[in-house]
Amino acid sequence: MRHSPWTGYVRTAVGTVVGLVAALYLFVLLVDPYGDVPFSLPIERPMMDDNQRFLYPGLVRSGRFDSAVFGTSTSRLLQPAHLNALFGGRFANLAMNSATAWEQTQLADLFLRTVAAPRTVVFGLDRVWCEANADVERLTFRPFPPWMYDDDPWNDLLYLLNGKTLEIAGRLVEFHLGRRRPRLGADGYEVFVPPDSEWDRVKVEQKIYDGPRRTVEPQVPPAVVTDAERNAWRFPALDWLAGLVRRLPEESTPILAFMPVHVISQPRPGSVEAAREHACKDRVAALGRTLGAWVVDFRMPSRVTADDANYWDNLHYRVAIADWIERSMADALRHRADAPDGTWRLLAAPPAGSPRGNSRLVSLSD
């Protein structure tokens, strides 16, 4: 039986495509840019992706860290090297851009399943933890890979052949050829804001206020919230937060810190939104008192959050403010009191004399 010449062409084309796909898949498996493949090449794998959701599972599983920062971009400038010196341990900054409370919970859950003896865990709290629909709005437009967060490394192989993974694998090859720098530091840290030399008041105020500079005036008269309305407020993500804190060993130090966004991004004093945020903070403080966690509130009107010179936009502070937050958290644990200048409040602390209340952190020198 004679075959048409086209049959040979088709077989050749199909064979070529299959061979090319197989070669690309083998390339991805051997380079393994996310550190997911059990049999990949033994090479250095710095973080080359733009989406921390794909990078941090490998960082958690590396075994190099016993302490971590979780949060959104408002926690990303907390520097692990500084936290190591202040609190002891080996920190990774695992805060993710625009991370929902659910995404942060998935990463923290992986950390607690993976790290045998967590030492210090900082949750940088933002409005996402207080949202009523946090259990519904679990994801953003950024891809989130749930298969990277489970305990089965083999199912990852089903998802690795795609254009994005090929791109990141190519970046990793470029790194080893000396032609590209890592996206993030080996501990997850990155100074993602511009250098201070580029700070310009006119441009920054435009970003902060989205127009002319204005002051935040309290709502007059203040909103009246009934007990029934207050009791109906839902904070579903706080149940996840409580579950994570409850799983930490007694010897660990959990710190729940509301991050200091600019006052323009905080609820207007006297508004219903301000009352709701206050109720959320009350519940976090109660959680801290019940479960033995430190709760520190920087998200409040103060000389820090009202000063435009401390920010790049309405959410992101400058590096010097990150340094101040790090020192202030240590001071809160050391002195068990609010800031003397009113720039932060200690909302909850473990009982003095308890393992967490008598923390080794308190004994660090000033």
Q: What tens digit of pLDDT does each residue of 171-192 get?
A: 998 999 999 999 899 999 999 9
**pLDDT number for residue 361:** 55
Q: Is residue 110 part of a domain?
A: yes
Average pLDDT for 318-324? 98
Q: Is residue 162 part of a domain?
A: no
Contact 205, 308 (CB under 8 A): yes
Statement: residue 364 has pLDDT above 60: no
- How far apart CA 254 and CA 244 sit, in angstroms, is 10
Of the listed ranges 17-21, 62-66, 222-226, 322-326, the one predicted with least confidence: 17-21
Statement: residue 233 has pLDDT above 60: yes
Of the listed ranges 1-15, 162-176, 322-336, the one predicted with least confidence: 1-15
**pLDDT number for residue 277:** 98
Q: Is residue 53 part of a domain?
A: yes
**pLDDT number for residue 58:** 92
Statement: residue 220 has pLDDT above 90: yes
Quickly state the pLDDT bin for 200 (edges 50, 70, 90). very high
Question: Which pair of tokens denotes residue 3?
Answer: 């075959």
- How far apart CA 146 and CA 205 sit, in angstroms, is 39
Q: Is 71 left (phi over 0), alpha (psi -120 to 50) or beta?
A: left
**pLDDT number for residue 10:** 72
Quickly state the pLDDT bin for 139 (edges 50, 70, 90). very high
Average pLDDT for 270-288? 98
**Residue 143: is the preceding peptide bond cis (ω within 30°)?**
no
**pLDDT number for residue 128:** 98
- How far apart CA 301 and CA 303 sit, in angstroms, is 7
Q: What tens digit of pLDDT does each residue of 78-119 get?
A: 999 999 999 999 999 999 999 999 999 999 999 999 999 999
Q: Is residue 75 part of a domain?
A: yes
- How far apart CA 71 and CA 94 sit, in angstroms, is 7
Average pLDDT for 266-285? 98
**pLDDT number for residue 363:** 46
Phi and psi for 327 in degrees, rounded to 5?
-65, -40
Of the listed ranges 158-162, 198-202, 304-308, the one predicted with least confidence: 158-162
Statement: residue 295 has pLDDT above 50: yes
Q: Is residue 277 part of a domain?
A: yes
Contact 312, 204 (CB under 8 A): yes
**pLDDT number for residue 1:** 53
Average pLDDT for 291-299? 98
Q: What one-character-per-residue DSSP string does 131-198 give?
A: -TTTTT----SS---GGGSSS-SGGGGGT--SHHHHHHHHHHHHHHTTS---SS-TTS----SPPGGG
Question: Which pair of tokens denotes residue 25?
Answer: 């898949």
Q: Is 292 left (phi over 0), alpha (psi -120 to 50) or beta?
A: left
Average pLDDT for 261-282? 98
**pLDDT number for residue 8:** 65
**pLDDT number for residue 157:** 84
Statement: residue 49 has pLDDT above 50: yes
Q: Is residue 64 part of a domain?
A: yes
Q: Is residue 272 part of a domain?
A: yes
Burial of 172 (0-12, 13-18, 19+ CB in 10 A): buried
pTM of the model: 0.92
Q: Is 128 left (phi over 0), alpha (psi -120 to 50) or beta?
A: alpha
Total domains in the chain come to: 1
Question: Which pair of tokens denotes residue 114?
Answer: 């993976």
**pLDDT number for residue 360:** 57
- How far apart CA 120 and CA 93 sit, in angstroms, is 12
Statement: residue 35 has pLDDT above 90: no
What secondary structure letter does DSSP report for 296? Answer: E
Quickly state the pLDDT bin for 296 (edges 50, 70, 90). very high
**pLDDT number for residue 266:** 98
- How far apart CA 50 and CA 53 sit, in angstroms, is 9
Q: Is residue 170 part of a domain?
A: no
Contact 111, 60 (CB under 8 A): yes
Domain of residue 224 covers 47-150+186-363
**CATH code where residue 280 lies:** 3.40.50.1110
Across the chain, what does the average pLDDT equal?
92
